[in-house]
Amino acid sequence: MKTNTEGLVLREYISGENNRFVTVLTKELGIVDCYAKGSKSLKGGKSSATQLLSYSALSLFHGRSNYIIDEAESIASFFNVAKDYDRYCVSQYLCELAIQMVMEDTPAEKYLELLLNCLHVLTNGTRSPLTVKLVYEIRMMVLSGVMPNIVYCSGCGCYEADTMYFDYCDNKLICSACTDGSGKLARLSRGALFALRYISLSEPKKIFSFRVSEESLVQLSYCAESFVIAHNGRECYSLKSCRHLRNI
Figure out which of the listed residues 155, 208, 210, 231 binds Zn ion, where binding follows CB under 5 A. Answer: 155
Residue placing its CB nearer to Zn ion in the complex, 31 or 164: 164
Give the total of residues touching Zn ion (CB under 5 A): 5
Q: Are 188 and 213 in contact (CB under 8 A)?
A: no
Q: Which of 82, 178, 229, 239 binds Zn ion (CB under 5 A)?
A: 178
175 binds Zn ion (CB under 5 A): yes
For 64-92, b where at least 16 C-beta lie within 10 A, e where not — what string?
A: eeebebbbbebeebbeebeeeebbbbbbb
Q: Given the rule CB under 5 A, which of 88-96, 99-107, 173-181, 204-212 is the region that contacts Zn ion?
A: 173-181
For the chain, helix, strand, coil in percent to 5 are 40, 25, 35
Phi-psi region of 188 (alpha: psi -120 to 50; beta: other; left: phi over 0): beta
Of the two residues 115 and 164, which places its CB atom closer to Zn ion in the complex?
A: 164
Q: Are 30 and 104 in contact (CB under 8 A)?
A: yes
Strand partners, 237: none
The rounded distance, in Å, linking the Cα atoms of 99 and 25 is 8
Pick between residue 79 and residue 152 the one whose CB is nearest to Zn ion.
152
When asked if residue 151 is in the footprint of Zn ion (CB under 5 A), the reply is: no
What is the rounded CA–CA span in Å between residue 39 and residue 52? 14
- Answer yes or no whether residue 183 interacts with Zn ion by CB under 5 A: no
Tell me if 153 contacts Zn ion by CB under 5 A. yes
* Min CB(210)–Zn ion separation in Å: 25
Which of 103, 151, 156, 169 forms a contact with Zn ion (CB under 5 A)?
A: 156
Interface region with Zn ion, contact rule CB under 5 A, candidates 122-130, 137-145, 152-160, 201-209: 152-160
Find the shortest distance in angstroms from Cβ 120 to Zn ion. Answer: 39
Residues within the interface to Zn ion (CB under 5 A) = 153, 155-156, 175, 178
